[in-house]
Amino acid sequence: MNIIAKYASLVKFSHTVFAMPFALMSYAAATMGADGGGAAGLRWTTLLMVLLCLVAARNAAMSFNRIADRDIDGRNPRTTQREIPSGQLSLRAARWFCMANSVIFVAAAALINPLAGWLSPVALALLLGYSYTKRFTWASHLALGLALAIAPVGAWIAVRGAFGLFPIVLAGVVLTWVGGFDIIYSLQDVDFDRREGLHSAPARFTVAGAIAISMALHVLSLAGVVVVGMLFFSGFVYWIGALLFASTLVAQHLIATPKRFARIGPTFTLVNGAASICYCLCAMVAMWI
C-alpha cells in the first residue's frame, strides 16, 4: 500500500460523502439566495477554499481520532488492523499529518473572510475534542454530529460572512442524522465498550434502548428536512430528495437489528452516503430550477 493510500485509509476519505454534500448544498443556497436574502453569485475561488477547508478539517479530525484511540483500537478485535496499531503508519507520521491539516484548515479559513478565520480555531477544537468524549459520556454520538454539522454553517459563512437561518436548520438535520447513525455503528462494539468502560449509547442504555434513541434522532432529522423544505423550497424536486433521504434512514433501521450486527459495517458508508448525496443533490437541483 503506497503512502497516499495509507493516509486515505487512516482518515477514511470515503466518509467525506457524509458532510460534504451538506456543505455544498449550503454553499449553493448562499450563492443563490435561497433564504430570500439575495443571490451572492458563484465565486470559484471561494468554492475551492471551502473544499480545501472541508478536506483539511476532516483529515485533521480523523487522524487525531486515530491517534487518540490508538491503544483502544489495538485492543479491539474489529480495529486492530487500523494503520497506527498495525504499524502501517507511525505515530509520528500521523501526528505530522494531523498538524499539517490543522494549519491548512485555519489558514484557508482566514483567507476566506474574517469571521471564518476567527471561528476556525473554535471549529477545530470541536472537531478534535470529539475524540475524547466517548471516555466520559454516551452523548459522544451527538458530539460527532455537532462536529459534522459545522460543515454547512461554515460553507454559508464563507459566502455571506455572517450566520443565517438556513445553515442553522440544516446543521440540526446533520447533527441528528449523524448522531443517529453513529449509534447504529457503535452497536458493533457494545461488548467491547462495556469491558473497556467506554461510554456509548448501547453500552449505557442496552442495544434496544440505543436503537430507540437512534430512531428518535432520525425522526428529528426528518422533521428538520421538512422544515427546510417548507421554509426555503417550492416545487416537487426537493421533496423527492427528502423522500429518498427518509427511505435510506428506514432501510438503515431495517438492516440494524439486534441480530444483524454483522451487516452494519459493510452497509454503513453506502446507505448514509446515499442519504446525503440524494437529498443534497435534489435540493441543489430544486434551487437551480
Cα dihedral 209, 214, 218, 224, rounded to 10, equals 90
Give the model confidence (pLDDT) of 100-124 as tens digits.
Answer: 999 999 999 999 999 999 999 999 9
Query: What is the C-alpha to C-alpha distance for residues 156 and 253, in angstroms, rounded to an integer?
Result: 31
| CA pseudo-torsion sign 200, 204, 208, 211 | negative
Instruction: Take residue 138 and report the three cell numbers written for it.
Output: 454516551
Instruction: Give whichever of 8-17, 160-169, 255-264 has the largest mean pLDDT.
Output: 160-169
- pLDDT attached to residue 256: 73
- In sequence order, the 6+-apart residues with CB closer than 8 A to the CB of 61 are 127, 128, 130, 131, 147
Q: Give the pLDDT confidence of 122-180 residue by residue, as tens digits.
A: 999 999 999 999 999 999 999 999 999 999 999 999 999 999 999 999 999 999 999 99
| 266 pLDDT tier (thresholds 50, 70, 90) | low
Residue 259 has a pLDDT of 65
- pLDDT number for residue 139: 96
**The predicted structure's pLDDT at residue 261:** 64
Q: Which amino acid belongs to residue 15? A: H
**Whether pLDDT at 6 is above 90:** no
Q: What pLDDT, on the 0 to 100 scale, is given for residue 206?
A: 92
Q: Which pLDDT does position 260 carry in this prediction?
A: 65
Q: Residue 194's pLDDT band (boundaries 50, 70, 90)?
A: very high
Which whole-number Å values give the CA distances from 33 to 26, 37, 151, 242, in the listed order?
10, 5, 18, 20
Q: Comparing 236 with 12, which gets the higher pLDDT? A: 236
- DSSP-derived secondary structure letter, 162: S
Query: Domain 3-288 belongs to what architecture?
Result: Orthogonal Bundle (1.10)
pLDDT of residue 103: 98
- Can you give the pLDDT at residue 11? 80
Checking if the pLDDT of 17 tops 90, the result is no
Check residue 1 and give its pLDDT. 54
User: Distance between CA atoms of 31 and 39, rounded to whole angstroms?
Assistant: 5
Type and span of the H or E element at 149: helix 140-160
pLDDT in tens, 34-79: 777 766 667 889 999 999 999 999 999 999 999 999 999 999 999 9
Residue 255 has a pLDDT of 80
pTM: 0.94
Average pLDDT over residues 220-246: 96
Residues of the chain with pLDDT > 70, as a percent, come to 95
Choose among 111, 115, 133, 134: nearest CA to 123: 115
Looking at the predicted structure, is the pLDDT value of residue 95 above 60? Answer: yes
Q: How confident is the model at residue 5 (pLDDT cuts 50, 70, 90)?
A: confident
Half-sphere CA count of 174, side-chain side, radius 13 A? 30
Q: Determine the pLDDT at residue 14.
A: 74
The residues spanned by each domain of the chain are 3-288
